Amino acid sequence: MSELLYIDLLIENGNFVLNTGKEPKLCNNRKSIGQDIIHSILESGLATQLIGERSPTLRADIFTQLELLIEEDERIVPGTVEVSEENQKRLWVTASTYDFGGISAQVDL
């Protein structure tokens, strides 16, 4: 089992996930990194720009900005980030980490 390098509170659908004792559940390592990626995308405002943009050229620019934003995370291997659009309300992000291999995260807009 991997060492616990990154520990976070588990958040799903914008809310803390609680255990049966009504205490916040924790997540670690890959899940924590994926969760941080989701939050950085949402906090950047790029997701909002993507929703409102119809120009294919400007949308491609926003996707590039998203990839560069994610690559700023020191845990992510540069050049491995891919952002794809499942539909107008959901993005999928895949990347490789230095310590935990590949990760994927679903970003609901």
Q: Cα separation of 93 and 15, whole Å?
A: 21
Amino acid in the structure at residue 88 = Q
Q: Cα separation of 52 and 59, whole Å?
A: 9
Q: How many CB atoms lie within 10 A of CB 78?
A: 13
Q: Quick one: pLDDT at residue 2?
A: 64
Q: Quick one: pLDDT at residue 13?
A: 86
pLDDT in tens, 24-56: 999 999 999 999 999 999 999 999 999 989 999
pLDDT in tens, 51-93: 989 999 999 999 999 999 999 999 999 999 999 999 989 999 9
Short-list 71, 56, 58, 66, CA closest to 91: 66
| DSSP-assigned letter for residue 108 | E
Task: Flag whether pLDDT at 1 surpasses 60.
Answer: no
